Amino acid sequence: MLNNKPQVIFQDLGLMDYQQAWDYQTQVHQALVAQKRHNRQEEQLGRATAPQQHQLLFCEHPPVYTLGKSGSIDHLLLNEAELAAQGFTFYKINRGGDITYHGPGQIVGYPIFDLDCFFTDVHRYVRYLEEAVLRTLAEYDLHGYREPGYTGVWLAATDRLPKRKICAIGVHLSRWVTLHGFAFNVNSDLTHFENIVPCGINDADKSVTSMAKELGQPVAAEKVKTKLKAHFADLFGFDYVE
């Protein structure tokens, strides 16, 4: 039987400088957009087209703060000298959302998909990113939820703890091809969030957390990645290219 599912290339890039990863994302994104244009020209001429080379990239970054196009620089609480002294880098980027932190112990995911091959609905796309993380957390008996009015994945408040954000999401689309993605706190150093107003949220009843903090011990990141990959394939209905 012919398999008509989209095919996705998965790459775990390991620990990678943010600028290097951004450049690589951009290269993959531009290739997808160029192939889409070429395919449309070929279709108009009645010729066969090549399948899109969607990619799902996982990586970690050295400590870095990134500010989305709708964010406020006032949400970065360090000046340039303090950033350098503490070993952080900082980038203004073209995703949605405000300021966030990336660093070791975090799974940063960059799905670079041509949504014309899946569905053309940005809201649904963001919900699927959240759902993949929600399903992964559930396998560790952590029950995440979506906080109304915000993107990302949260854990509910308790008698002792406020609402805690465990995964941030910020995306950008061009010609329905996705860029940027999510940052999932697995074994993250949460003190690094103290240098920013995370995602521009300065509410007393909201904080950040990680799987390790919630479970009281370090988490095997490779196992989390395997579960996360499987949920992505199931939600979006694709197969991985071996």
Dist. CA 50–CA 52, nearest whole Å:
6
Q: Which residues contact 233 (CB under 8 A, 6 or more apart)?
A: 8, 239, 240
Buried b (16+ CB within 10 A) or exposed e, 196-220: bbbbbbeeeebbbbbbbbbeeeebe
Selected catalytic residue, list 59, 117, 167, 199: 199
Q: In this structure, what are the phi and psi dihedrals at residue 112, rounded to the nearest 5 degrees?
A: -115, 90
CA–CA dist 205, 164 (Å, integer): 9
DSSP state of 198: G
Q: Please compute Rg for the chain using Cα positions.
A: 18
Q: Which residues contact 145 (CB under 8 A, 6 or more apart)?
A: 134, 153, 154, 155, 156
Our answer to whether residue 199 is catalytic in this structure is yes
**Run of H or E residues at 107:** strand 106-112
Nearest CA-CA partner of 240 in 28, 59, 10, 29: 10
Which residues are the active-site residues? 199
